[in-house]
Amino acid sequence: MATSGPHAKPADNALPSGPAQVAFLCDEMLAGLGRWLRAAGYDTVVVERGIDDRQVARRAVHEGRVLLTRDRRLAEQVAGTGAVLLLGGNDIYAWARELAERLALDWMFRPFSRCLCCNTPLELADAAQQGDLPPAVRGTQNVRYCTACDKLFWEGSHVRRMQQRLREWKGRYTQDGAVFADTVTVGVDLSVFGLDEQSD
């Protein structure tokens, strides 16, 4: 079973040099993964339905985003001009593991710093923005606000559960001493990534 290392053919499409700079483009099949990447704090765009492969490929290259896809044909369109990771797993846990192992992605990068719905960086909510919240939540330090979709995020049970899962992924999948992308060249991985464990 392959557990680490670049299972990728050599290409000149290395990732940006640090986690702060990495941004993702998820194909529409990976919208759920995109939401988790936003929860972890990564700038992540999910492709809208009906966009053709060439446009997706162009967008990934133009915006310098790492394309995440399960579609080999789409991955091949980007390989050579942009960064792409062809995911082999079948569920969110497998993908969480692949990203941690192959990109040294930090699942606790900047938790809940971006809107889960639209990717906009969140701001701390002021008193007026917190007006509709339950009294127990209002005035706490951790209420955040999305200016684009007028949504509030706070550490209620749903957010706490998501944070807990992000922590588990980080603890379980992060490789000791992994250095983000320094030695990883992302290309089209034509082997199916072997997984010996499916959590939860």
Footprint on this chain of Zn ion (rule: CB under 5 A): 115, 117-118, 120, 146, 148-149
The nearest distance, CB 18 to Zn ion, in angstroms, is 25
* Residue number with CB closer to Zn ion (120 or 130): 120
In the complex, the smallest distance separating the C-beta of residue 168 from Zn ion, rounded to whole angstroms, is 25
CB of 56 to Zn ion, least distance (A): 22
CA 156 to chain CA centroid, Å, is 22
Instruction: Give the residue closest to Zn ion by C-beta.
Output: 115
Strands 123-124 and 144-146 come out as antiparallel
* Token pair of 55 as six digits: 């446009």
Nearest approach, Cβ of 107 to Zn ion (angstroms)? 21
Compare residues 114 and 165 and give the one whose CB is closer to Zn ion. 114
Q: Cα torsion for 66, 70, 33, 12, to the nearest 10°? A: -10
CB neighbour list of residue 124: distance below 8 Å, 6 or more residues apart: 141, 143, 144, 145
Which residue, 58, 44, 62, is CA-closest to 118?
A: 44
Smaller CB distance to Zn ion: residue 35 or 165? Answer: 35
Compute the least distance from the CB of residue 43 to Zn ion, in Å: 13
**Of residues 118 and 137, the one with the C-beta less far from Zn ion:** 118
Reduced to 3 states, what is the DSSP secondary structure of residue 197? Answer: coil
The full 3-state SS of 106-137, as one line of letters, equals CCCCCCCCECCCCCCECEECCCCCCCCCCCCC
Distance CA 182, CA 179 (A): 6
Judged by beta carbon, residue 40 or residue 84, the one nearer Zn ion is: 40
